Amino acid sequence: MQVIKLNLYKNTYKIIVGAGIIDRLGNWLKKLNIGRNAYIITNSLIKKIYGKLIEKSLKTSGFGFCFKIVADTEKSKSLRTVSLIIKDLVNYDCKRNIFIVALGGGVIGDLAGFVASIYKRGIPYIQIPTTLLAQVDSSIGGKTGIDLKEGKNLLGTFYQPRLVVSDIDLLKTLNKEQIKIGLAEVIKYGLIKDKKFFVYLEKNFEDILNLHLPVIDYIVRHCSKIKAEIVEKDEREEKGLRTILNFGHTIGHAIETAGEYKRYNHGQAVALGLLVESYLSYRLNYLKKTDLIRIETLIKRVGLPTRIERLSFSQIIKAHYKDKKFKGFRNRFALIQEIGKARIVEDIPLRLISEAIKKYLS
């Protein structure tokens, strides 16, 4: 087991990574002293698989709890679901000292964190991520949010969890497609920050897809450390440092939005975004052609999509204007200077962005 500390001015918290650690949850919560009753937001599948395990640990430590089940889809990141949860939460929160538990993947984590941040101007919450994507990325750093039809994550807050518990044993029930989705964000870390890690992924991606636990344990710990380091330096994305985590996401989010959150899931859209934005990095003379080919090859070998299908160019271009990084008419991208080194670039000519999208459009 490894404890990674995320040190912030107002709220330092622990990211605990290990195998078979979830039964210690109750003990950790007692020490945190954030409340006596857990309002657990999850979906029916995750409750069915892991509900009893969580219940047992909470009961043993004397906590009260209830489960709030939301639909198992990106559509749960909506104002409608937020309003349904809050109505229910108000009833539960009667003479109780409550906190929220996000038990699930990135959808549940973003939604539950958002609810925790706005209910009574903020109540404590913790993250128990159950997908690879959520363990390496979304559970850490306090970005919460929901989608609008017009764009991804357009409503959101920065609101840090009080604890993240990443039990890699919980990943054993994921299927290969779900591991691939997480791998898109894992590859992103190699590209923006750590060339050696990218090389490691080139050599070991099959072990990751086959859920070889020592390798999974290593990548969850490694990515959590990278993310924690970046968030510590720029919690609210004000210094342009945290922005590098957005590599692949300007076009990735546009693809997700254009497909109405059904055509491509987040990881698939990010993989396509990584390709388009690596190509942009190449066309702007930062990235070498041979490195672009390496990136394309890894994404293809992992089995993530390499062509944008059944979406039109105009849908994607329209959606990309909603990116939160853009300032008025000025676009702003996180790109890569080389494998392992990110850079922020502004005012990229539209013709180049169009060329890059068209290169991967079927």
Cα atoms found within 13 Å of the Cα of residue 344, Cβ hemisphere only:
15
DSSP string, 29-46: HHHHT--SEEEEEE-HHH
> Of 114-133, which residues contact ligand GLY (CB under 6 A)?
none
Catalytic residues: 121, 143, 185, 227, 237, 242, 246, 249, 253, 266
Q: How far is CA 306 from CA 19, 57, 280, in A?
A: 33, 43, 15
Nearest to ligand NAD of 154, 317 (CB atom) = 154
Does residue 153 contact residue 110 with C-beta atoms inside 8 Å? yes
Decide which of ligand NAD, ligand GLY, none touches 173; Cβ closer than 5 to 8 Å per partner kind. ligand NAD
- Rounded to a whole number of angstroms, the minimum distance from the CB of residue 245 to ligand GLY is 4
Nearest alpha carbon to residue 342 among 237, 248, 229, 204: 248
- Rounded to a whole number of angstroms, the minimum distance from the CB of residue 11 to ligand NAD is 16
> Of 226-255, which residues contact ligand GLY (CB under 6 A)?
242, 245-246
3-class secondary-structure state, position 212: coil
Does residue 29 contact residue 36 with C-beta atoms inside 8 Å? no
Does residue 271 contact residue 184 with C-beta atoms inside 8 Å? yes
Q: Which of 128, 170, 223, 353 binds ligand NAD (CB under 6 A)?
A: 170
**Torsion over CA of 93, 157, 161 and 15, rounded to 10 degrees?**
160
> Of 54-93, which residues contact ligand NAD (CB under 6 A)?
72, 74, 77
Query: Contact between 46 and ligand NAD (CB under 6 A)?
Result: yes
- Rounded to a whole number of angstroms, the minimum distance from the CB of residue 56 to ligand NAD is 17
Can you give the binding site for ligand GLY, defined by CB under 6 A?
137, 141, 143, 242, 245-246
Binding site for ligand NAD (CB under 6 A): 43, 45-46, 49, 72, 74, 77, 104-108, 110, 130-131, 133-134, 137-138, 141, 143, 153, 170-171, 173-174, 178, 181, 266-267
